[in-house]
Structure 1
């Protein structure tokens, strides 16, 4: 999974005795074990960069950011003794460029940590990903369903996985053209656009499918994402970038099992917690668990846009519904203890009053977005 911190997941047993609810935390939840987490793959597309991210797992209740595994020696080795070293850039992120795996060859990942612990993956073949034929969407009663379509004319792929990035354009509740200047105790023109913003998010779930039961290697209208019609993502324009990966059967089995025990939890009918075994193992200590699956292959991408004008007349819930304005004199602005310091349009000529609104209603960045348009954004 792309840049996904891993936490150990355990069960909480609730004992109902005489109306009391007592949480039970098994030792596995509070155990100090910290396992190596490997995220990344050997990219077979020419001219691309291969990136492997190393970190350490942490307990479910640990609020800290997962620890990066730094100063390791990371190499990719072929079955015919070729070896390619990855260099560490930011903490725990190892990369190399200009190396393309050979079709028909097999490769493994070798990690030697700063503490001298060795980890090896299985040797895996190069798996080429077929193109995405199309991304489609349809408006339903209460939202939008986004689907993917693909096929392998050679009938060789059979196992697929997807990730996606979402981006959407939205605005603040009011357009603020003026700002109160605390130094001059006056009102100036605002020199920064804080009305238009772009929000973003990435897929959180593991999304896989298999065509092994079909007569042809075709994926048709497979659901990737569902978005409520009232979402702020549809206030103006929405975009989704989908990444498609072809998997080996072993890779598919790993991600399928991981999805079952991490995403289908919450009822007594869900899968029992169990240990997930990838294709990376410790050569130093056989009981040292490693989380991750090393693969060699390509990734293909496709992007679509959906405009508000293409959708039904759904009411967008932006979070600004409770915003209200006030009218203040310059003196009241100077004395305001609430931080209400801006106008959203010019006061009438000769007027000493300003129409104001709270920062939360005029600065779109406070909703988690950025006010710089992405380079890929279409006009």
Structure 2
């Protein structure tokens, strides 16, 4: 999405720029009607869990910025009497369990917020076919990840994907002791700080269509690229791809959104008026809203990539992740100084001296090099291989 400007003014501006090569910055005006618009996005996942994201368009000088819409009442209503409700949290998210919903019933979404009621019409359910496979090939100094799918019934045609990626993290140094309550004591061996896992949800709009093909089949559709020198592929990487079937109207809406997000900053971008969503304000039908709500089933498939899948011989720096973790030695009387500077102890080093005395120092490093919980969760995912 991009800033709304007056189109005749754009043309005049373009002529002036070409004629006079003006280098002064230009800030176009933005119509106030595009401030504080409700944005509703989500997919009613029949047989799964549904997340509806609500927000408002922000400041006039940056109307693409979004402000979470909290405390909105969100309801899914079925034409057979089904009703589910929840409330959006401080991040504008409302999560509903929709495992009990069925494709035989059509659903609409209703939102009550700020004294107004917003609603979709009854939505067409789209059953997503299974993902045939998720695979990768080595490309552009990394792993290019693809999905393959088809629909024997030739009924889907319009596809959308997203994914969650997860990767294993290991601490650079094991640590057997810690500074606690003014003392150096052994660490609890039951608290894992060496092996963790981090996750990330996709943000790009991933679309595919077989509309112009005789067969409803899509092959080698790229969904992600992981550089070979990324922390994500140091040990083990996983991607869970999710597939959604869309209506033609939903696909066209997302296609415009995709173009806008890829072309932010040009004065010839599509205007907000071209992004009319499918949520209507019942209290004021003239009020414009943004976003699109779809409904249907979701299919998914997981892929693992190991460090063993990297090219033989390491292939140089393009495939080598470098973590800046240099250990250092601290004398005993400097321990508290380094602890306060966010360093942790790798080991306590005790050196017996003549006469029965001992000399103690500590091998230390930055805390993120020792405690992996600062970069992820130490709870191993159920699906993670041994």
What TM-score results when the alignment is normalised by the length of structure 2?
0.81
Task: Give the whole-Å Cα distance in 2 for the aligned partners of 1:83 and 1:182.
Answer: 56
Residue 372 (str. 1) matches residue 379 (str. 2): yes
Aligned ranges for residues 21-40 of structure 1 at < 5 Å?
21-22=24-25, 24-28=27-31, 33-40=35-42
- 2:352 matched to 1:353? no
CA distance in 1, matches of 2:334, 2:254: 60
Q: Measured at CA, do residues 309 and 215 of structure 1 come closer, stay the same or move farther in structure 2, by a change above 3 Å?
A: same
CA contact (8 A) 1:70 1:114 kept: no
Q: Which residue of 1 aligns with 2:187?
A: 190
Q: Report Cα offsets for 1:311-363 as digits up to 9, x if no partner.
A: 12154565623x32222221222455863653324526535222221224323
Seen in structure 2, the aligned counterparts of structure 1 residues 26 and 307 have a Cα distance that, compared at 3 Å, is: same
Cα offsets for 1:171-210 (capped at 9, x unmatched): 23333332233523xx222334333221211111110010
Q: Deviations over 1:30-86 (max 9, x none)?
A: 8782122222233323xx3444343333237599982334252624242xx635242
Equivalent in 248, 270, 273 of residue 271 of structure 2: 273
For 1:142 and 1:290, locate their aligned partners in 2 and report how far apart those are by CA, in whole Å.
42
Q: Is the 8 A contact 1:137 1:144 kept in 2?
A: yes
1:192-271 to 2 correspondences below 5 Å? 192-266=191-265, 271=269
Q: CA deviation at 1:370?
A: 2.3
Alignment RMSD (CA, Å): 3.2
The equivalent of 2:355 in structure 1 is none
The whole-number CA distance in structure 1 between the counterparts of 2:292 and 2:34 is 23
Q: Is the 8 A contact 1:72 1:114 kept in 2?
A: no
Q: Provide the rounded CA distance (Å) in 2 between the counterparts of 1:87 and 1:341.
A: 44
**Which residue is 1:160 aligned to?**
159
CA distance in 1: counterparts of 2:293 and 2:41, whole angstroms: 8
Aligned to 1:5: none
SS of the equivalent of 1:245 reads strand
> Structure 2 CA distance, aligned partners of 1:239 and 1:156?
30
Report the secondary structure of 2:67's partner residue.
coil
Separation in structure 2 between the aligned mates of residue 168 and residue 156 of structure 1, nearest angstrom: 35
Partner-residue secondary structure (3-state), 1:342: strand
Gaps of 5+ in 2: 353-358
Deviation at residue 310 of structure 1 after TM alignment:
1.6
3-state DSSP class of the match of 1:344?
Answer: strand
- 299 and 35 in structure 1: CA distance in 2 versus 1, 3 angstrom threshold: same
Q: Distance in 2 between matches of 1:257 and 1:360?
A: 41
Query: Which residue is equivalent to 1:10?
Result: 3
SS, match of residue 24 in structure 1: coil
C-alpha separation in 2, matches of 1:326 and 1:156: 63
Question: Compared with structure 1, are the counterparts of its residues 163 and 40 closer, same or farther at alpha carbon in structure 2 (3 Å cutoff)?
Answer: same
Kindly tell me the number of residue pairs found equivalent between the two proteins: 360
- 1-side partners of 2:83 and 2:347: how far apart? 60
Q: Residue 218 and residue 361 in structure 1: after superposition, are their counterparts in 2 closer, same or farther (change >3 A)?
A: same
Question: Could you list the runs of 5+ residues in structure 1 that have no partner in the other structure?
Answer: 1-7
